[in-house]
Amino acid sequence: MSLLPLDDAPGRLPTGRSLTPPPVRFRARAPRLLRSALVTLPLLLIGVWAAVDWQTAYNGTTRLGSADPWWLLVALFFTCLGWLSAPCIRQGALPERLPAGLLIASQFAAGAANHVLPASIGAHAVTLRFLQGRGIPLARATASLALYSAVKPIARTLVLLVFLVAFPDLLLTGRLVPDQRTALLVAGAVTLALAGTAVLVTTVRPLRRPLLDALRCALTDVRVLHTRPARILALWGGAAAAPLIQASVLFAVGAALGLSLSWVQVAFAFLAASTAVGAVPAPGGIGPVDAAVVFAMVALGAPMDLSATAVIGYRVLTVWLPLLPGALVLSALVQRKVL
């Protein structure tokens, strides 16, 4: 006869015990592993992109080495000034006041993510996470992203119209006027986008509720924001100033290389090109916008080689220069649980 108690007999489990221990360690380690992956992911993506497109950065940096350094300092000044435009618009799109330092840091980090993923997905994802970390509800945060995305092209188009009214001679060249085929393609793309959104909202039920909540919140916030002069100035003033600051960077780089176009011509070329093809889902607008800017500058009388070199130099200052610091700031914000 066995002298073991019933609970300790072979093949029997003690009362209240289990052979499978609770996965406490795994659950505790999973968030740490995920956060560590998120910290290193921006640097990994930047490294992959640098390996793929290193020739562009090398050529642009080499050509800038022989440019006028004083004009390059002016271009660098406007580049740094442009880093403040996105936080200004973000704050203008939200009734709640955000901490200025963290907002600027988050948008600097969002700029790095924006140049990796197309259609501003990376920047919006970083901003959405930042807003939720500040206690902003999901519907309101989503509404602010939608308002930000809507105000920027509207403001850019209004600035372009002001240029056309103030400087009608810029349209004397017919090469900048889109033909009927191009206009039909743009209209068709807009119609398809609106129709696709409507189909998704009406057929996919899980999307309907959050989208309708975000739409109601957006309409409410728009009414509230436009009763505050400070928010109006930050939202619309920042959105109108952003393309002009970017055009000033391009003009300064062109002047450093000996480009003969005036600031008005360069700004008009940049506004027209970014308005025409800015909706193409490329990372940071790189590619379609660059080609369109070069085409517009050549149409206004600039040499092809100088126009292309100026655009490459512009991309080196606005994309490659802040890319690594932006990725480091993004990793630091994730490490400190700000994102």
Q: What is the pLDDT of residue 197?
A: 65
Residue 109: which of 286, 320, 322, 335 has the closest Cα?
322
Alpha carbons 332 and 109: distance in angstroms, whole number: 9
What is the mean pLDDT of the segment spanning 164-171? 79
In degrees and rounded to multiples of 5, residue 13 shows phi and psi of: -100, 140
Residue 125: which of 137, 107, 101, 147 has the closest Cα?
107
Alpha carbons 142 and 164: distance in angstroms, whole number: 34
Angle between helices 69-82 and 238-257 (to 10 degrees): 160
Which of 20-29, 140-149, 200-209 shows the lowest per-residue confidence on average (mean pLDDT)? 20-29
Q: What is the pLDDT of residue 193?
A: 63
Q: Which of 26-30, 211-215, 243-247, 269-273 has the highest mean pLDDT?
A: 243-247
3-state secondary structure of 136: coil
3-state secondary structure of 77: helix
Q: What is the pLDDT of residue 174?
A: 47
Q: What is the pLDDT of residue 45?
A: 54
What is the mean pLDDT of the segment spanning 210-222? 74
Alpha carbons 280 and 278: distance in angstroms, whole number: 6
Q: What is the pLDDT of residue 224?
A: 86
Q: What is the pLDDT of residue 56?
A: 57
For the residues of 220-256, what is the DSSP string, one character each?
HHHHHHTT-HHHHIIIIIHHHHHHHHHHHHHHHHHHH
Which of 38-52, 161-175, 263-277 shows the lowest per-residue confidence on average (mean pLDDT)? 38-52
- Kindly provide the b/e burial profile for residues 203-221, where b requires at least 16 CB atoms within 10 angstroms of the residue's own CB: eeeeeeeebebbeebbeeb
What is the mean pLDDT of the segment spanning 196-203? 68
- The pLDDT tens digits of the residues spanning 38-58 come to 555 555 555 555 555 566 556
Q: What is the mean pLDDT of the chain?
A: 76
Q: What is the pLDDT of residue 320?
A: 81
Residue whose pair of structure tokens reads 């959050």 in the numeric block: 210
3-state secondary structure of 1: coil
- Rounded percentage of the chain residues whose pLDDT exceeds 70: 65
What is the mean pLDDT of the segment spanning 3-15? 49
What is the mean pLDDT of the segment spanning 18-34? 52
Q: Is the pLDDT of residue 216 over 80?
A: no
- The pLDDT tens digits of the residues spanning 230-256 come to 999 999 999 999 999 999 999 999 999
Alpha carbons 284 and 319: distance in angstroms, whole number: 8
Q: Is the pLDDT of residue 267 over 90?
A: yes
Alpha carbons 242 and 271: distance in angstroms, whole number: 11
87 falls in which pLDDT band (50, 70, 90)? very high
Alpha carbons 234 and 89: distance in angstroms, whole number: 6
What is the mean pLDDT of the segment spanning 156-168? 88
Mark out the alpha helices in 65-137 (DSSP H runs).
69-82, 85-92, 100-114, 121-133
> Which one-letter DSSP state was computed for residue 319?
I
Residue 199, judged by CB atoms within 10 A of its CB (0-12, 13-18, 19+), counts as: exposed
What is the mean pLDDT of the segment spanning 311-328? 85
Q: Is the pLDDT of residue 286 over 60?
A: no
CA dist 325 → 46, 154, 280 (Å): 11, 30, 26
Q: What is the pLDDT of residue 28?
A: 47
In this structure, are residues 317 and 257 in contact, taking their beta carbons and an 8 Å threshold? Answer: no
